[in-house]
Structure 1
Amino acid sequence: MDLVDFDMNLLLTFDAIYRHQNLSAAAIELGLTQPAVSAALKRLRERFDNPLFVRTSHGMRPTPYADSMSVKITRALDIVREVDQPDDFSPQTTTVNFRVYINDIGMLLMMPQVMTYLGEHAPGARLSIFDFRPDEVIPALDSGVIDLAIGYFPGMPNWAHQQVVRNTSYVCAVRGDHPFIKNSLSLDQFVNAKHGMYWTSGSPHSAVEEALSRLDLTRDVMLRLPRFSALPFFISQSDLIMTIPEDLGVGFSRMINIKLFKPPLKLPNFEIRQYWHERHHADPANKWLRNIIKRETADMLLLRK
């Protein structure tokens, strides 16, 4: 690209539109009017001879060409922003805004401890937790919308750095005064009961169906919910069985009247990992946060036991 006649502010405009997929939101971030952002977008379209963003019912969606540009532009802006930053990272003086995806289980069980640590050791830092469908997390990490993704993503591409933060398994949960399930849970009871389950677009959680299929069995799913954290409340007020991650079950069993059982069929354990892009791999602030999350998660597991 010939930079002599190119307005570098257009890259900031592109980045804001790409992340927000909304011209008004991009204008607010940039401190500009919406007509000014529209004019900048027009200049970008002329410069690159591509629409870049098209209006849809879900906002300004990027074209494939814009997707290919976004990683390069994000990397370039990150480098420019770091030009006047010292190489040393000081938690006590940093004002970094950590951008993290984690599902509602992690928000409940992991992030309060992390936030407490930040408040004590990095009082100027900020933490923004993003909400995506599971199938939106990888694009958000790749495009730079988030710095870190924490969860269970079996389809994560090879470009992502990753680290295991905990191993976990499933438990079956029912209300404490369930009329049929008392002190044990048999496979017959499991199959003949009505079930509730976590479900959302792009969710990888199909372990129960896969295990039942191997036994030529099915289950009757009466309720599907898009939030893990809501499941225990439905359990406590219904006769449903729900198969949920062990961490969530243990945490809620201390607060509401539910009972936990080992599943009566073989389900695999799974690993919760944190993932990050190469552009953040050597960043001292992000390395520090990853270490904190790893350590606080280990402490949480010790407390659980």
Structure 2
Amino acid sequence: MQTVEMMKNINHFNLRSFDLNLLIAFDALMKDRSVTKAAGRLKVQQPALSHHLSSLRVLLDDELFIRVGNYMQPTAKAEALADGVAQILAGAQALILAQDTFDPSTSDRIFQMGFSCEELLILPELSERVQDGAPGIRFMARRVGSAEVGGELDNGELDVAVGCYPPATARYEHVQLFEQQLACCYSPDLIEAPDGIDLAAYLSARHVFVSQQDDIQGCIGSMLTDAGHRLNIVLGVPEYLTALAAAVSSPLVVTLPLPIARRYASFFNLRTQQAPVKLNLPPVSLIWAKRSSSEPASTWLRDQIIAACAKRNDSHLPFPKPRRLEMSI
């Protein structure tokens, strides 16, 4: 308890001029009882070690070592300080050499993951990938908006985020996971378009879009509007699967990222085609706080997510191989 209180009350101003090398010199002299031998141990010149000893004598107001022939005899104060100094140096060495380790096979850590909307593409493969080698690992995934993602990465509420988040600051790093293309889905029983929906039919259709905002258009709908396409959006929903389900019983066109359409539209017996409008969607990236870049657990998690996306690429979905970007966001 006393040690804890002392740590809380460290006077940094008083300690800032005390060079750790002085304690190293003191410990070497205690072990060798010779300036020459101690200098050899520390691989410094003898005058440098003598200077350290002079500084210690002034700071501690004691001779510390008294020359007796070729032997440096420690004073009573030096003897009293020896064990404490050795403990300080051993602690410092252990701290410097300590290796942060992470064993996914035995860990029961819960990783916090933020998504803008891509969890449908990543979480199934991620869960499958780790179920045998990391049975205790758990993932908590939730939607996180662009306005909140930076703060939650900063304060540790999120370990990583995956999405179309805009560039932020140099406090973050990212890897681009895949580019995006647009698809549209519809029920062939409710919308007659045997040759597919052309641009004119698309613009005159009734639409459902996924929106995480108060705006019925959502992100993709807003970008299409900004590109000059006037759409009749009659339904805004928070999830892609909800949008696909809505098109089962109503003559609605669902516009969504092509990988999600290819994977899930067939479950609803919907027809999928490339959207007849051109739109440059931002890429999907894996983002993390720079301070966690070298943390073994965070590194492991990022590797698993990248591998999960690579598997989707191998499964004939339009994912290019993940590539590391040169810039930090």
Task: Provide the residue aligned with 1:97 in structure 2.
Answer: 110
**In the TM superposition, what is the alpha-carbon distance from 1:111 to its structure 2 partner?**
1.0
Q: For residues 207 and 160 of structure 2, what CA distance do their matches in structure 1 show?
A: 33
Q: 2:194 aligns with which of 161, 173, 182?
A: 182
Q: 2:170 aligns with which of 150, 153, 158?
A: 158
Q: For residues 286 and 147 of structure 1, what CA distance do their matches in structure 2 show?
A: 7
Aligned 8 A contact 1:134 1:201 in 2: no
Q: Deviations over 1:195-241 (max 9, x none)?
A: 111112289954444445444x4111100112223111112221111
**In the TM superposition, what is the alpha-carbon distance from 1:295 to its structure 2 partner?**
0.9
Identical-pair percentage:
20
Task: Provide the residue aligned with 2:323 in structure 1.
Answer: none
Q: 1:4 aligns with which of 9, 13, 26?
A: 9
**In the TM superposition, what is the alpha-carbon distance from 1:304 to its structure 2 partner?**
3.1
Aligned 8 A contact 1:208 1:267 in 2: no
Aligned to 2:8, the other structure's residue is in SS state coil
CA, structure 1 residues 117+207, in 2 after alignment: closer, same or farther (shift >3 Å)? closer
CA, structure 1 residues 296+179, in 2 after alignment: closer, same or farther (shift >3 Å)? closer
**In the TM superposition, what is the alpha-carbon distance from 1:263 to its structure 2 partner?**
1.7
Aligned 8 A contact 2:100 2:295 in 1: no
Structure-to-structure mapping, 1:42-191, within 5 angstroms:
86-103=99-116, 105-106=118-119, 108-191=120-203
Aligned 8 A contact 2:218 2:236 in 1: no
* Larger displacement relative to structure 2 (284-293 or 122-131): 122-131
CA, structure 1 residues 169+263, in 2 after alignment: closer, same or farther (shift >3 Å)? same
Task: Provide the residue aligned with 1:51 in structure 2.
Answer: none
Aligned 8 A contact 2:117 2:163 in 1: no
Aligned to 1:120, the other structure's residue is in SS state coil
Task: Provide the residue aligned with 1:220 in structure 2.
Answer: 232
Say which one has the larger Rg: 2
Q: For residues 202 and 3 of structure 1, what CA distance do their matches in structure 2 show?
A: 48
Q: 2:206 aligns with which of 194, 198, 204?
A: 194
**In the TM superposition, what is the alpha-carbon distance from 1:269 to its structure 2 partner?**
4.1
Aligned 8 A contact 1:209 1:218 in 2: no
Aligned 8 A contact 2:183 2:273 in 1: yes
Aligned to 1:282, the other structure's residue is in SS state coil
Q: For residues 277 and 240 of structure 2, what CA distance do their matches in structure 1 show?
A: 21
Aligned to 1:121, the other structure's residue is in SS state coil
CA, structure 1 residues 214+98, in 2 after alignment: closer, same or farther (shift >3 Å)? closer
Task: Provide the residue aligned with 1:262 in structure 2.
Answer: 274
Q: For residues 222 and 103 of structure 1, what CA distance do their matches in structure 2 show?
A: 22
TM-score, length basis structure 2: 0.62
Task: Provide the residue aligned with 2:82 in structure 1.
Answer: none
**In the TM superposition, what is the alpha-carbon distance from 1:127 to its structure 2 partner?**
1.7
Question: Could you tell me which amino acid in structure 2 is paired with residue 258 of structure 1?
Answer: L
CA, structure 1 residues 202+224, in 2 after alignment: closer, same or farther (shift >3 Å)? closer
Question: Could you tell me which amino acid in structure 1 is paired with residue 112 of structure 2?
Answer: R
TM-score, length basis structure 1: 0.66
Q: For residues 131 and 226 of structure 2, what CA distance do their matches in structure 1 show?
A: 48
Task: Provide the residue aligned with 1:8 in structure 2.
Answer: none
Q: Which runs of 5+ in 2 are unaligned?
A: 1-6, 11-94, 318-329
Q: Which runs of 5+ in 1 are unaligned?
A: 6-81
* Larger displacement relative to structure 2 (170-179 or 188-197): 170-179
Q: For residues 158 and 173 of structure 1, what CA distance do their matches in structure 2 show?
A: 39
Task: Provide the residue aligned with 2:299 in structure 1.
Answer: 287
**In the TM superposition, what is the alpha-carbon distance from 1:104 to its structure 2 partner?**
5.0
Aligned 8 A contact 2:114 2:161 in 1: yes
Aligned 8 A contact 2:204 2:231 in 1: yes
Q: For residues 237 and 86 of structure 1, what CA distance do their matches in structure 2 show?
A: 58
Aligned to 1:304, the other structure's residue is in SS state coil
Q: Deviations over 1:162-214 (max 9, x none)?
A: 00122221101111323333322111111111111111228995444444544
Q: For residues 263 and 118 of structure 1, what CA distance do their matches in structure 2 show?
A: 35
